[in-house]
Structure 1
Amino acid sequence: MSASWTAYRRARRRSRQAWVLLALAAVSALATVAWFFTDGQFALAEPAAAGPVEAPVYDPAWMKPVVAVRQVPDATALSVLEGLPVKGRAPANNYEREAFGQAWLDADRNGCDTRNDILRRDLLEVAFTERSRCGVASGRFQDPYTSKTIDFRRGADSSREVQIDHVVALSDAWQKGAQQLTARQRQHLANDPVNLVAADGPANQQKGAADAATWLPKNKSFRCHYVARQVSVKAGYGLWVTQAEKDAMKRVLGTCPDQRTVLAR
């Protein structure tokens, strides 16, 4: 057999091997693509649509309503906002937290203080302290202000990571009509579940006593509910808004004109 014939056969054999390897690679690629789509990997790669976020208000199984000064209309938050008085701020130099009563009273008289009521309402996988039906020892929740998932553990330091925020800050309420309320009405305002949400500690500290004109949650999908909650509290307790505050609220609610008021039911 000549050397040229041997070289020819060797070249043909290598060519067939190359085609087999290419075919195997193609089959492997097709299998990978099929797995990618059929096992849902493509769906996971697509961004999830961010819908509106709301927070719980009231659980009749173990909470009792806190009576506001006025009945809040079951209507769009935009329409109720239009009915709120617009005024400037009253002086804040005489504000004291004690004007709203002792912190975390059992205002609804269900046997548990307000802080533990709100933790129990807002957290998942709640565990109570030993021999207690009120004291929340641990749980987890998705913070509505930042959308972070936070684990709560009761303790001198760890408890600060989850705080109970007054949606309408008490200092802001004081400057916008709460001075004219009775002491009992102010206690109700400070302990009304409509005005309270569990929140990320640093985010709550950043907010301070700000109104909607100067602070809104970082989590934009929660802003409509947040502003509707502020409108509902102000309507329920006869408080007013500043013009800048009203303008900011209208901008938010303009993106969700069907957003309803937030009622304790």
Structure 2
Amino acid sequence: MERRPSSSVAVDTSAQRWSSPSRRDGRPCHSHKPAPAGRTTHWAAAAGSLSVVSRLLVGVSLAVLLLLTACTPASSRDQTPAAAPDRRAAARTALDGLRVVARPVADPSYRRAAFGPAWADVDHDGCSQRKDALAASVDRTRPLTERRNKRCAHDVIAGTWTDPYTGALLTFTDLTDTRQAQQIPIDHVVALAVAYRYGASRWTAELRLAFANDLSNLQPTARATNLSKSDRDPAAWKPVRAFQCPYATRYISVKAKYALPVDVSEKRALSEMLDRC
């Protein structure tokens, strides 16, 4: 199926709305695999692809929270990105359950290489995690081009995405063009450097690799937004007001999933953003 957008690269900053993070058939959206040819495929964020994660992470309440918050919403102009009351309550409960520590300083020993090769195919579906993240969040109500590329069944090379931090619409016609691909980086909701200084420096290499490629912590953004956020946490950086609630709930779910602590200022910032829900 090939439906090509009309422009090469377009950013619509007027969009400030997105849809509820659920599949169009109403079922929860977590791990998704390619459907047989001829069937519609819905891609959403998936977590816990490596067995080490399931062995090390505990707590039924945290798993429930992930089910409620981990999906990447699809873009829409018809709904605001507000969390349902039960998701907000679950996020507050999870936030209160996070261990509070003194605010850590930047760790000079941090290197991106500590988290393994970028976009490793940790779920062994033939697609890099970048391609998985793009397929999970592309707006399938708009023109797109999705192809099979070797073993990868969902290589989206053209389409429209919504920046989850600003609501801007990002439209690209050829992501095989490096210049276009550079304009839609994949952001770690909880930045790798943040995770490193809050405890990931003591993790095994296997767990760091899982964290860096966990789809529940990945989402495409505009290049400018990604550079602005960088490796800052919620105490130092916030998305635009309308998108603070979904950012906070997702950030908390990732920290809870990996038992990463928060500091007082970070917790206060997250609590304030939950007030936007």
Same fold by TM-score greater than 0.5: yes
1:74 aligns with 2:64: yes
- Matched with 1:112 is 127
* Equivalences for residues 30-69 of structure 1 within 5 A: 58-62=30-34, 65=47, 66-67=49-50, 68=53, 69=56
Three-state SS of the structure 2 residue aligned to 1:135 is strand
What is the Cα-based RMSD across aligned positions, in Å?
Answer: 2.3
Contact 1:70-1:235 within 8 A present in 2 as well: no
Q: Which residue of 2 aligns with 1:127?
A: 145
Deviation at 1:221, TM superposition (A): 2.6
Give the Cα–Cα distance (whole angstroms) in 2 for the partners of residues 113 and 164 of structure 1.
12
Deviation at 1:245, TM superposition (A): 0.4
User: 5+ residue gaps in structure 2?
Assistant: 1-15, 23-28, 35-42, 66-89
Letter in 1 for 2:100: V
Q: 1:85-130: per-residue Cα shift (whole Å, max 9, x none)?
A: 1113155100000110100000111111100000111113442357
Distance apart, 1:59 and its partner CA: 4.5
Matching residue of 1:172: 194
How far residue 223 of structure 1 moved from its aligned partner, in angstroms, is 1.4
Percentage of matched positions with identical amino acids: 32
Structure 2 letter corresponding to 1:137: I
Alignment partner, residue 199 of structure 1: 221
> Aligned pair 1:254/2:275, yes or no?
yes
187-196 vs 81-90, which moves further = 81-90
Q: Using the TM superposition, give the Cα deviation of residue 55 of structure 1 relative to its aligned residue in structure 2, in angstroms.
A: 5.3
Question: How far apart are the structure 2 equivalents of 1:82 and 1:130?
Answer: 44
The equivalent of 1:210 in structure 2 is: 232
**Residues 252, 102 of structure 1: alpha-carbon distance in 2 compared, 3 angstrom cutoff:** same
Q: How many residues align?
A: 206
| Runs of at least 4 residues off by over 6 Å | none
Task: Name the structure with the higher helix share.
Answer: 1
Judge which range, 222-231 or 186-195, deviates more.
222-231
| Cα 1:157/1:82, change in 2 over 3 Å | same
Q: Residues of 2 paired with 1:92 and 1:147: CA distance?
A: 32
Counterpart selection for 1:86 from 100, 106, 124? 100
190-199 or 62-71, larger mean C-alpha shift = 62-71
Asked whether 1:96 is paired with 2:111, we answer yes
CA contact (8 A) 2:149 2:155 kept: no
Deviation at 1:237, TM superposition (A): 1.1
Classify the secondary structure of the residue corresponding to 1:204: helix
In structure 1, the partner of 2:25 is: none
The one-letter code of the counterpart of 1:185 is L
Q: 1:84 to 1:53 in 2, by over 3 A?
A: farther
**Is the CA contact 2:145–2:159 (under 8 Å) kept in the aligned structure 1?**
yes
Which residue of the other structure, out of 182, 186, 190, is the alignment partner of 2:212?
190
Answer whether contact 2:165 2:247 (CA < 8 A) is retained.
no
Counterpart for residue 143 of structure 1: 163
CA–CA separation in structure 1 for the residues paired with 2:121 and 2:207 = 14
Consecutive unaligned residues in structure 1, runs of 5 or more? 1-49, 257-265
- Maintained 8 Å contact 1:52/1:221: no
Relative to structure 2, which stretch is displaced further, 128-137 or 106-115?
A: 128-137
Give the 3 Å change call, closer, same or farther, for CA 55–173 of structure 1 in structure 2.
farther
1:52/1:222 contact within 8 Å kept = no
Report if aligned partners of 1:212, 1:249 keep a CA contact under 8 Å in 2. yes
**TM-score if structure 1 supplies the norm length?**
0.71
